[in-house]
């Protein structure tokens, strides 16, 4: 049993984390073993994310104190955990979705993106998006494509000239 002071401290910590977060995912972890929970936390740490487990009323209180609207963990089913991402908006959704596919005891309930509540389907859609690094790579590739095309065109003339001179030599 937690004392009032411990609960206030927990809520204060959660408010700070919620203010720093880029996105969050709510999940029901009922029936999840301690070993699996530890495995999930390790995966989240690699992605600069973490999972906070608290009573629904404390999570709700922390969300309200941090200014989040439209989110009510008390209406969510099961034991609610909050997966919080600090650097990449997609990371909590990706890790949570991947883990929910491995262990049926971990169920995605919804999330927060850009200070707005998003439903389960939106979290799953977000999880299926490419990662931040892959998206940046695609942007760089798209920007570089016209330049590499122009280079091929210019080199084509030189290649043709070399081929013609080679044929003349023969």
Digit-coded pLDDT (tens) for 71-124: 777 778 788 899 999 888 888 899 999 999 998 888 999 999 888 888 889 999
Residue 108: which domain range?
Answer: 4-129
Same domain, 139 and 78: no
CATH number of 107's domain: 3.30.70.1730
Total domain count, the chain? 2
Beta strand 107-113 pairing with 80-85: unpaired
Is residue 65 a contact partner of residue 112, using CB atoms and an 8 Å limit?
no
pTM for the structure as a whole: 0.74
Same domain, 74 and 122: yes
Same domain, 49 and 123: yes
Digit-coded pLDDT (tens) for 113-166: 888 888 889 999 988 888 777 888 888 888 888 887 788 888 888 888 888 888
User: What is the model's pLDDT at position 140?
Assistant: 87
């Amino acid at each position: 049993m937690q004392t009032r002071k411990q609960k206030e401290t927990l809520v204060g910590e959660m408010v700070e984390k919620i203010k720093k977060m880029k996105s969050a995912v709510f999940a029901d972890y009922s029936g999840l073993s301690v070993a699996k929970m530890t495995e999930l936390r390790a995966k989240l740490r690699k992605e600069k994310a973490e999972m906070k487990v608290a009573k629904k009323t404390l999570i709700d209180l922390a969300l309200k104190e941090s200014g989040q609207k439209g989110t009510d963990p008390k209406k969510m089913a099961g034991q609610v955990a909050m997966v919080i991402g600090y650097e990449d908006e997609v990371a909590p959704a990706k890790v949570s979705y991947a883990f929910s596919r491995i262990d049926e005891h971990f169920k995605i309930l919804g999330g927060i993106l850009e200070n707005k509540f998003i439903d389960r389907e939106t979290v799953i859609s977000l999880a299926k998006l490419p990662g931040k690094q892959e998206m940046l790579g695609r942007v760089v590739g798209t920007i570089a494509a016209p330049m590499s095309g122009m280079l091929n065109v210019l080199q084509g003339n030189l290649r043709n000239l070399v081929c013609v001179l080679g044929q003349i030599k023969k």
